[in-house]
C-alpha cells in the first residue's frame, strides 16, 4: 500500500495504523468508556492533538476503517456489468469477499477484528454509530437505484431488502466467529447461506413458508 509514497505519506499511514492498533488494544482490555483519548495518545507515543489530527472523535478510532466501506454497495451496483442484476452483483461481491476472508463480510478471525465486533456489541454508543453506518449505506444504495430511473419508494424497498439480507449473513458469520469457530471452518456454510439468501431475493418470497 505504501509503495511509491513519499516519507511523509508513509509516516502518516503508519501513525494512523498505530493509533488504531493501540486504541483497539486498550478498548479490548478495559472497555470503550474507560479509555481516554489521552491514554491512547500516550500508548501510541504521540500527543493528544495528533490523535485529533487523524480522527475527529474517540468513536472514529473504532469506525473509521469500517466507514471506508459505507459506499461499497452503491459502488458495486454502479459498476456492475451490462446484463448483471443488482442482486447478482451483490451476490458476486459477497462470495468473492468470503473467499478472501474479508472482514467487511464478517469473515476475519483475526483477534483485532473479533475484538472490535465484541466492543461494538457491548457498547451502546458504538451500536448507535453502527446503526448510522447502516443508514448511510442504505441511503447511498437507494440513491444509486434512483439514478437508474427507479422511483424513490421502490428504490428504498429494494435497497432495504438487499442490505437486510447482506447484513443478516454478516451477523451469522460474526456469531459463529465469536463462538470460537475459525473463518475457514465457517466458509462453506457462509457460501451456502449466501446462495439461499440471494436466491430468495432473486425469486421473491412468493410461497415461502406457506402454512399447510
In the chain, list all ranges with CATH 1.10.10.60: 7-55
pLDDT computed for residue 6 by the predictor: 82
Question: What's 85's DSSP letter?
Answer: -
Please give the CATH topology (third level) of the domain spanning 7-55. Arc Repressor Mutant, subunit A (1.10.10)
From first to last of its 212 residues, the chain has per-residue pLDDT tens of 556 678 888 899 999 989 988 998 899 899 999 999 999 999 999 999 999 999 999 999 999 878 888 999 999 999 999 999 999 999 999 999 999 999 999 999 998 889 889 999 999 999 999 999 999 999 999 999 999 999 999 999 999 999 999 999 999 999 999 999 999 999 999 999 999 999 999 999 888 888 88
pLDDT computed for residue 4 by the predictor: 64
DSSP symbols for 15-53: HHHHHHHHHHHHHHHH-STT--HHHHHHHHTS-HHHHHH
For 181-190, b/e burial (b = at least 16 CB within 10 A) is eebeebeeeb
153 exposure class (CB count in 10 Å sphere: 0-12, 13-18, 19+):
exposed
The CA dihedral of 119, 173, 164, 206, to the nearest 10 degrees, is -160
What is the pTM assigned to this prediction? 0.87
Closest CA to 54 of 3, 26, 14: 14
Alpha-carbon gap, residue 207 to 157, rounded angstroms: 19
For helices 183-203 and 152-178, angle between their N-to-C axes, nearest 10 degrees: 160
Q: Which residues contact 26 (CB under 8 A, 6 or more apart)?
A: 35, 39, 40, 43
Amino acid at each position: 500500500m505504501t509503495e511509491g509514497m513519499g516519507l511523509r505519506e508513509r509516516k502518516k499511514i503508519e501513525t494512523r495504523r498505530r493509533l488504531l492498533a493501540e486504541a483497539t488494544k486498550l478498548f479490548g482490555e478495559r472497555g470503550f468508556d474507560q479509555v481516554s483519548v489521552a491514554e491512547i495518545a500516550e500508548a501510541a507515543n504521540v500527543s493528544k492533538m495528533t490523535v485529533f489530527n487523524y480522527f475527529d472523535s474517540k468513536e472514529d478510532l473504532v469506525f473509521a476503517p469500517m466507514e471506508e466501506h459505507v459506499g461499497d454497495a452503491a459502488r458495486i451496483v454502479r459498476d456492475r456489468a451490462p446484463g448483471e442484476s443488482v442482486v447478482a452483483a451483490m451476490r458476486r461481491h459477497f462470495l468473492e469477499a468470503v473467499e478472501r476472508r474479508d472482514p467487511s463480510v464478517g469473515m476475519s478471525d483475526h483477534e483485532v477484528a473479533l475484538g472490535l465486533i465484541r466492543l461494538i456489541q457491548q457498547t451502546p454508543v458504538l451500536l448507535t454509530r453502527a446503526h448510522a453506518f447502516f443508514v448511510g449505506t442504505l441511503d447511498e444504495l437507494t440513491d444509486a437505484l434512483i439514478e437508474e430511473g427507479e422511483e424513490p419508494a421502490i428504490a428504498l424497498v429494494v435497497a432495504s431488502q438487499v442490505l437486510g439480507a447482506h447484513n443478516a449473513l454478516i451477523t451469522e458469520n460474526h456469531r459463529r466467529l465469536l463462538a470460537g469457530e475459525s473463518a475457514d471452518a465457517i466458509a462453506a456454510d457462509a457460501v451456502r447461506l449466501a446462495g439461499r439468501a440471494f436466491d430468495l431475493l432473486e425469486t421473491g418470497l412468493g410461497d415461502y413458508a406457506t402454512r399447510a
